[in-house]
Amino acid sequence: MNKYLESMRVMLGAAPRRPEPVEYTEEAKTIHFYKKNEKLDFQALRLEAHAHQKKRIWLKRRWITLLAINLLFTVSFWLDIQLLEGALTASRLLGFHLIDLNSALQVMLAHKHIIVNLLIGTGTVFVLWLLLGGRTFCSWVCPYHLVAEWAEKLHLYLVSKKIVSDHTFNRRVRTVLWVIFAALAWVTGYTVFETISPTGIVSRALIYGPGLALGWVVLLLLFEVFYSRRAWCRYVCPIGLTYGITGVFSPLHVTYKLANCHHEGECRKVCEVPHVLDCIVKGRAPAAQLDIGADCTRCGMCVDVCPSGALTFEIKGLRKLM
């Protein structure tokens, strides 16, 4: 099956498919054959993985980027230096329009009329995230993602203490909500989703000062801490799906190298969207090298924890070019 179709299918909520025997390349078959007889000390691998985790190069880079972008919005307004005006829903970088794709979609559906500035801003952002990987927006820009990461840490701690347990949902719920929110915008003529969008609420709160709407964000975080790990980003957020679709054909990926992998599974434990890492299960990868699917937020957590360099950031074509 076409890898892009499969990547879309999984993103929309289907379970990852186990490849048919004919889909395996000869190279992959050979690697799997030798791996079958490999005896690995998983405890040692795990320890190695945890030691590796300490550096967290990508986590640091990402947090710095995310904070820098969001603070630039705040500073631009407060110091009136006009570098990056507006909020995450729509802004101007040195005068150039940038418009959030999901907000733009909601406005276009609600208003049923598109002006040039809206088109320019949306087009620019579309190309930007097409190149940078779609959901890269989520983990590198969205301010809710960062607070949700902190909530996730707390959630995992409580889980380890057996105080709470994670309740998973059917991931198709996000696809259904995406369609309904789009339909609601069209039918009601109002951007209904924006009312509950924590991305918009947190972004505006950072720039224009906190408001009561932050209460909703707190409720969401409490839900994630005590009931379901990363529930908003995993099962609800239509912004994530919009950017996911944008990045289906993106050249920027986390790439999986079968030969390097020890299959100890540390990457899936830290991943926000572990279904994209189904290929790391022993015997699953149909090729020696694979691009991780479109639902991947390119957060780099897996790259950080992987003790054997099996997961790395790659830009398609760049290696050939250089």
Partner 1 sequence: MNTEKPTPPPKLVNKRKLEDRRRFLRSIILGAAMLGISTVGYIPVANAWKTRMRPPGALEEEDFLSSCIKCGQCVQVCPVQAIKLDDLDQGFGIGVPYIDSRSQACDFSCDAVQCILACPTGSLAYKKPAFLPTRSEMVMANPPILLAKEKDPEPTLNLKERTGLAVLVKPEICLARQGKGFKGAARGHEFKGTLRFMEVDRWKPIPLRDHPFELELCDLCVRTCPIKGAISLESVEENGVMIKTPVVHEPCVGCGVCEMVCPTEPAAIVVEARKGWGA
Contact residues for partner 1 (CB under 8 A)? 76-77, 85-92, 97, 99-100, 103-104, 107, 110-113, 115, 117-118, 121, 167-170, 172-173, 176-177, 180-181, 184, 188-196, 200-201, 204, 207-208, 211-213, 215-216, 231, 235-236
To the nearest whole angstrom, how small is the minimum distance from the Cβ of residue 116 to partner 1? Answer: 9
Q: Which is nearer to partner 1, 13 or 19 (CB)?
A: 13
What sign does the dihedral 109-242-97-74 (CA atoms) show? Answer: positive
> To the nearest whole angstrom, how small is the minimum distance from the Cβ of residue 279 to partner 1?
23
Residue 303 beta carbon to partner 1: minimum distance, rounded to whole angstroms? 30
Give, in degrees to the nearest 5, the angle at Cα 300 between 308 and 160: 85
CB atoms within 10 A of CB 48: 16
- CB contact at 8 A, 28 and 258: yes
Tokens (6 digits) for 148: 């949700």
Which helix or strand (DSSP H or E) is residue 154 part of?
helix 143-160
Q: Which CB atom, from 89 or from 139, has the smaller least distance to partner 1?
A: 89
**Residues constituting the chain:** 322
Least separation in angstroms between CB 300 and partner 1: 28
Report the 10 Å Cβ neighbour count for 86: 20
Of residues 189 and 309, the one with the C-beta less far from partner 1: 189
Nearer to partner 1, 124 or 255 (CB): 124
Instruction: Kindly list the distances between the CA atom of residue 75 and the CA atoms of 67, 68, 149, in Å, as whole numbers in the listed order.
Output: 12, 10, 24
- Tell me, rounded to whole angstroms, the distance of Cα 145 from its chain centroid: 9
In the complex, least distance from residue 223 CB atom to partner 1, rounded to whole angstroms: 9
Residue 129 or residue 235: which is nearer to partner 1 going by CB? 235
Buried b (16+ CB within 10 A) or exposed e, 220-245: bbeebbeebbbbbbbbbbbbbbbbbb
Task: Please state the closest distance from residue 93 (CB atom) to partner 1, in A.
Answer: 12
